[in-house]
Amino acid sequence: MSQPHPTALPSARRRPARRRDAFIRVFHAAPLVVALGLGGLAVPGAARAAEDDKLNERVSAAACQPRLASDRSKLTWNGVDWRFTTGETGEVFLECPVYTPWTDEDSGNRIIEELRMWYIDTSGDLTDASVKVELRRIAPPSLTSVLVGTVLSDNNSNTSPTTFATALNNLAMVDAQYFLVVRLFRQGTNRTVTFRGVSFFEAP
C-alpha cells in the first residue's frame, strides 16, 4: 500500500496557523477602527458641551433676604415672591447672592448679554410704584461696590406679571463677588409690587 507523501502532513498543519494569523491581524486592527469612529463623533459632542456650558443664570427671589430688620417688617414672602405686607408702603431693600463662575475653562471670561427681572408692578410705567434691580460686584483691592447693570419697572408699561430686561452690552465678568440689590417702592396700598427673581445670559 502506498504511503502519503511526507510533505502532506506539515502542509495540513500550516492551514490553521494561517487562519489564526489572519484573526490576530483583525483583532489588533479593531481598536483603531473603533477609535477612528469615536473620533469622528467627538467634534459634535464637544460642540454641544460648549453650547450647554453657556451661562444661563437664574436667581430666585427665595435666595434674597431683606437688607434690614425694618425692611423685613414691611415685607411678606409667600413662597413665590417678596411683596409688601398688607397696609405697608414706602421703600424696602432686598439683597441676593449670585453664585456664578466668572470664567469658563473653554472661552475665558464670561460675557453677559442681558439682565432680566421677573416681577409685578401694577402701576406700569407710572412712578408711584416700582421695582428696581441692580447687579453689583465687589472686587479687591478696593472692595468698593460697583454698579454693573440696572433694570427698572418704570421703563415698562406692563401691569401684569411679566419680565423686563436691560442690555448689558456684552459685559465681561471679572474676578469679583457679584450680588443683587432689589428696591421695592409704592406710595399707596392700591399698588401691587412684587419681586420674583432675575436671570442673565451669556452672549452666544
Q: What percent of the chain has pLDDT over 90?
A: 52
Whether 113 has a pLDDT exceeding 70, the answer reads yes
Q: Are residues 139 and 84 in the same domain?
A: yes
Residues 159, 196: Cα–Cα separation, whole Å: 15
97, 189: one domain = yes
pLDDT of residue 107: 62
Does residue 90 sit in the same domain as residue 170? yes
pLDDT in tens, 44-61: 443 444 444 555 688 999
pLDDT digits (tens, 9 = 90+) for 134-180: 999 998 888 899 999 999 999 999 999 999 999 988 888 888 889 99
**200: pLDDT confidence band, cut at 50, 70 and 90?**
confident
> Mean pLDDT, to the nearest integer, of 35-39?
40
Say whether both 44 and 82 belong to one domain: no
The separation between CA 74 and the C-alpha centre of its own chain, rounded to angstroms, equals 32
Residues 62 and 155 in one domain: yes
**Per-residue model confidence as pLDDT tens digits over 62-75:** 999 999 999 999 99
What is the residue range of 123's domain? Answer: 55-202
Same domain, 165 and 116: yes
Q: Find where cell 432675575 sits.
A: 198
Q: How confident is the model at residue 76 (pLDDT cuts 50, 70, 90)?
A: very high
What is the per-residue pLDDT for 10?
Answer: 45
Same-domain pairing of 76 and 62: yes
Reduced to 3 states, what is the DSSP secondary structure of residue 86?
Answer: coil
Same domain? For 36 and 63 the reply is no
What predicted TM-score, i.e. pTM, was given to this entire model?
0.71
Domain boundary among 11, 35, 52: 52
> Distance between CA atoms of 122 and 85, rounded to whole angstroms?
16
DSSP string, the chain: -----TTHHHHHHHHHHHHHHHHHHHHHHHHHHHHHHHHHHHHHHHHHHHHHTS-EEEEEGGG-EESSHHHHTTEEE-SS-EEEPTT--EEEEEEEE----SEETTTEE-EEEEEEEEEEETTTT-TTEEEEEEEEEE-TTT--EEEEEEEEGGG----SSEEEEEEEEEEEP-SSEEEEEEEEEESSTT--EEEEEEEEEE--
Domain count, the chain: 2
